[in-house]
Structure 1
Amino acid sequence: MPSFHLSREQSHSVWNNSIEPALHVRSQDTVRMQIAEASGGQLSQNSTPADVRQLDFSHINPVTGPVYVEGAEPGDALVVDILSMEMETWGWTAIIPGFGLLADEFQEPHLRISRITSKYAELLPGLRVPLSPFIGTIGVAIAEAGEHSIVPPRAQGGNMDIRHMTPGSRLWLPVAVEGALLSVGDTHSAQGDGEVCGTAVETASEVTLRVNLVKNRPLTSPMVETHPRSLRSGHAWAVTGIASDLWEAARIATRHMIALISEKTGLSDEDAYMVASIAGDLKISEIVDAPNWVVSMHLDKEIFEGGL
């Protein structure tokens, strides 16, 4: 099982099945990839909120690749084992105008640079989120010709932001074109389910993957086998949003969590929104008792020194 390496310079910023492969591998080969942080170098440890306003979305979420897998054809499944992730020592979280679940309520840019250690992402002094590295964008090329934005997820994967895509997890992807054309990017040090403010702790990294081709295994969408390290534990606060629309219920729950964090810690609403994005987990708690549905958001108490 040979091992290969790709640098973050071998990247692209759109899905396009005509992009020349950066690498050719076979089933069971291992690939080590350098991954750029989600701004593609537009933000640094010295950036300010003014830099957030100037972000060029055509360069957002660059992905390393594509990797051509010999023998892969439409109707096959590409199975990707996430073997390891090594994170940079800093990451960023931002409120980007026009982006996020509450974009209409948080219209000004905001930015926090986190210090990344072997155990935590520290957004602010004393505000430490347990380190849980995962891959935010991982997918194979789509069948449709031409350039397609990397921002929305698709049937072939992409920017799914599933925080369970940690080392030890396995991802199944439906192959849509010859060679599959696997690409990876947007690695995070921590994120809550929902990524409500639109960003996680966005961090450059180096990831090691193993690819395995399963012939004649048609899938209609990605499937994940999770690993226990991706699960949270401990005591948590859980707030609720109840409405006849799941989108609105999620917004209500997020507002309630922002208010709770601000009340308990004295953080600004902007910073509380970020905390909800990097550590709060949105869940559909009830969807059968029409006409109203319940969405809850859970936040582990251990995140703050002394608990909430």
Structure 2
Amino acid sequence: MGLIESTCKTIHVGCRQKHLRWSKNERPVLTISSGDVVTFDTVDSSNGQIGKESDSSVINSFKTELADPAFGPVFIRDAEPGDALKIEILALETADWGWTAIMPGFGLLADEFPDPALKVWRLEPGSSCAQFKEGVHVPLRPFLGIMGVAPGLDGDFSTIPPTDAGGNIDCRDLTVGSTLYLPVQVPGALFSCGDGHAAQGHGEVCGTAIETPMKATLRLTVCKDHPWVTSPHFQTAPRAYPKSVVADKGRYAAMGIDADLLEAAKKAARNLIRWLVATKGLSRSEAYMLASVAGDIQVVEAVDINYAVTMGLPLNIFV
């Protein structure tokens, strides 16, 4: 697809303008000027393999190599290595549905959850929450899991793991009003995005969030001579509490302690799942998925030989 020249205005990248690799040789679908606003229509992270009517049988034929498409890339004039690309997140609009799944062989506790599971969510327009099951409502906090620029290295790289150039960073703080800075590694930056999430906990422990198609509106600006930006940096907007927000009821957290940080994280997630099963009437698979979309994993102690990691949930999701 050829380059589309533009002046300073709102420009569009469609849902068919996608790729499954990070490469400085990926041909741009759009050329813009610094400060232009671009809208992106993205499909979900399954790349259309999972739909509104799907059940867990679809996971048996799921092709990982088709997952996590990125939409773009966009060439930004005057962007050069040593600069930073500033991405202002202006608007995010989810579809009216989403999905969360347990994929065999994937996730923090993959060895303990060998069977596939799928939850298809209904996302009501204008609603601040989505129902997980009767009595469990998860606050919606849309963001893009993938925002990245082309790497400076030669070769083709998967869109699944994050890198210093961004990509599949799955940072739930990058919602509307936040600003992301990425290190420009090639001329034009070659920015792409995708992987819409309606909600996710810190850690995304089962491997998926509430995955959903999304329309994103972003402003892309070149920040000249920012050599200190060598990995993704971001700034969040001041927190605003809408009238519909559910009252804070505190959090419940389980701790994992181990000399290995990954093992400590696994223990924390495992212990929270045990609590959910024991006290909230959830199956282990339900508890794992709920922890992934609404739970936060945090390192609370890192200096006394063993690591202490917690995984917690806000208690106001239980209504």
TM (norm. structure 1) is 0.96
Aligned to 1:220: 230
Structure 1: where are the runs of 5+ without partners? none
CA shift for structure 1 position 45: 1.2
Q: Tell me whether 1:159 sits opposite 2:168 in the alignment.
A: yes
Q: How far does the alpha carbon of each residue in 1:205-233 deviate from its partner, in whole angstroms, 9 at most, with x for none?
A: 10000011011112211101012449996
Q: What is the match of residue 191 of structure 1?
A: 200
SS of the aligned residue for 1:93 comes to strand
Of the candidates 50, 56, 65, which is equivalent to residue 58 of structure 1?
65
C-alpha distance in structure 1 between counterparts of 2:286 and 2:239, whole Å: 26
Deviation at 1:116, TM superposition (A): 0.9
How far apart are residue 234 of structure 1 and its match? 4.5
Greater Cα offset, 279-288 or 257-266: 257-266
- The aligned counterpart of 2:278 is 263
Q: For residues 228 and 272 of structure 1, what CA distance do their matches in structure 2 show?
A: 31
Aligned to 1:16: 23
State how far apart, in whole Å, the 2-side matches of 1:124 and 1:145 are.
Answer: 47
1:161-180, aligned counterparts within 5 Å?
Answer: 161-180=170-189
CA change 1:292–1:230 in 2 (3 A) is farther
Sequence identity (%): 45
Matched, 1:36 2:43: yes
Deviation at 1:188, TM superposition (A): 0.3
1:47-89 deviations in Å (ceiling 9; x for gaps) = 1111112111111011110000001111110000000101101
The answer to whether the Cα contact below 8 Å between 1:239 and 1:256 also exists between their aligned partners in 2 is yes
Alignment of 1:83-94 (within 5 A): 83-94=90-101
Q: Is the 8 A contact 1:81 1:170 kept in 2?
A: yes
What amino acid is the match of 1:299? Answer: L
Count of residue pairs brought into register by the alignment:
304
Alignment-derived partner of residue 141 in structure 2: 132
- 2:55 aligned residue: 48
- AA in 1 matched with 2:46: S
CA contact 1:115–1:123 (8 Å) conserved in 2: no
TM-score for the superposition, normalised by structure 2: 0.93
Equivalent residue of 2:253, what SS? Answer: strand
**Letter of the structure 2 residue corresponding to residue 63 of structure 1:** A
Kindly report structure 1 stretches of 4+ aligned residues shifted beyond 4 Å: 229-234
For residues 140 and 277 of structure 1, the distance between their equivalents in structure 2, rounded to whole angstroms, comes to 27
Match of 2:315 among 289, 301, 305: 301
Q: Does structure 2 retain, via aligned residues, the 8 Å contact 1:170–1:224?
A: yes
How large is the RMSD of aligned CA atoms in angstroms? 1.4
